[in-house]
Amino acid sequence: MHSAAGIEDRLFTPARIRLTVWYVSVLAAVLIVLGTALYLVVRNQLLNSVDNGLKVVAARASAQWVDSGTIRLDELSTGPYVVNYTSALQGGVTREPNGMIHVDWDSMLAADQSGHDLRTSGASGDRRRVYSVLVNGVTGSALIQVSRSLEPEHEALSKLLVGLFVGGLLGLVGAALGGWFLAGKSLRPVRVAFDRQHAFVADASHELRTPLAVIRANAEFISTEQPENPEAKEILGETDRLSGLVDALLAVARGDEATPALALVVDVAELTEGAVASFQPLAAEKGLELTVATAEKLEVPGDADQLRQVLVILLDNAVRYSAEGGRIHVQARANGSSALVTVHDTGIGIPADQLERIFERFYRGDEARNRQSGGAGLGLAIAQELVNRHHGKLTAESTEGAGSTFTVQLPRST
């Protein structure tokens, strides 16, 4: 049959990979947004509750000062909070003998200026949240500072971060596996349809060959019998055109499964010379100047027949889309690790908006001008397929009305 593992690999595996990548990317985006939101909310909550605690303790200490002009730390339930206080900063600092650990004098001074101050101080590993407030009591004013280490919160937050990261990563791995499975499942009907269509094209082309051969033989017979009969000539011409199309269709259908014979070495220079030589009569007939310049030897791994077909397609187009008096120049040369074959013509050129479509199957430029020139729009599709199979690239540059250059780039033998 016409379906083969090769088609699957080249057409469906990339599609399956793309679908999976999409699936995972979307999930990753959702997880990043959700994870970031969750982290920020939790962080906010934690830090807020620390601030609230600071303020509650500070309020209790302030109340003591206002009521009694003194602060009795042992009567404050401070928990993890450290309370420091000092009275009359401006008039000579008096530090109350309450241990005075973890005092942030910058914060004290700031509170002395503005009434209160809330800040985070210290470097990573020793961060503290500090709240200082200026209180006026009967015995004068005092600065009360309540602070607390933020390390437990930071530790919890970094654990949360690691958890989110590991969880997210596991989720993504799961999604990739699931996505791969689902993509395979959803592509299955497409693959079946593709295989059927493929088989149909190949079978139909094959079946068409015999009747075409019979028609051609009959038309040839008539035209030998009646050399002046214009209908017979017309039939012959059209039959040849149709045979060409059928061959091309068959080539496309088969092309999808054929594996390239890259074990052999082809001299592209020699191949180019040969292909150009075979086009000289046709070019002369159309009044075109066809020249060739090749390197000494230009070896690439590949299939000579297939590569010759590529050149024939490009030369055929160059001749077909050039007007009398035009020039076609073919060049084969080495460029680093590549072999480059360029077919340059001074023909009608290709409009910029069509340039990327010319490699599509059955795509033909401007309908009107192509109707007389007889192609089916398969030439470049086949050429590109053949070049791809050689791990090469077929590219086109063109200026409408001035001409086109097609470049075949192939990796050279090492």
Judged by CB under 6 A, which of 57, 252, 350, 410 binds ligand ADP? 350
Residue 191 or 361: the one with the smaller Cβ distance to ligand ADP is 361
Span near ligand ADP by CB under 6 A; candidates 114-122, 252-260, 262-270, 361-369 = 361-369
Smaller CB separation from ligand ADP, 207 or 360:
360
Applying CB under 6 A, which part among 43-51, 53-61, 329-337, 341-349 lies near ligand ADP? 341-349
Based on the shown chain and the rule CB under 6 A, indicate whether residue 245 belongs to the binding site for ligand ADP.
no
With contacts defined by CB under 6 A, how many residues of the chain interact with ligand ADP? 21
**Binding window for ligand ADP (CB under 6 A); candidates: 83-91, 119-127, 275-283, 360-368:** 360-368
Q: Which stretch binds ligand ADP (CB under 6 A): 26-34, 192-200, 296-304, 368-376?
A: 368-376
Contact set for ligand ADP, span 301-340 (CB under 6 A): 317-318, 321
Q: What is the CA radius of gyration of the chain?
A: 41
Q: Which is nearer to ligand ADP, 377 or 411 (CB)?
A: 377
Q: Is 82 exposed, middle or buried (0-12, 13-18, 19+ CB in 10 A)?
A: buried
Pick from 60, 148, 364, 389 the residue near ligand ADP by CB under 6 A: 364
The gap from C-alpha 308 to its chain's centroid, in whole angstroms, comes to 33
- Under rule CB under 6 A, residue 179 binds ligand ADP: no
CB of 249 to ligand ADP, least distance (A): 12
Give least dist CB 225 to ligand ADP, A: 33
Least CB distance to ligand ADP at residue 289 (A): 15
Of 312, 308, 284, nearest to 375 by C-alpha is 312
Residues in contact with 414: Cβ distance below 8 Å, sequence separation at least 6, in sequence order: 337
Residues that bind ligand ADP (CB under 6 A): 317-318, 321, 345, 347-350, 358, 363-365, 370, 375-381, 404
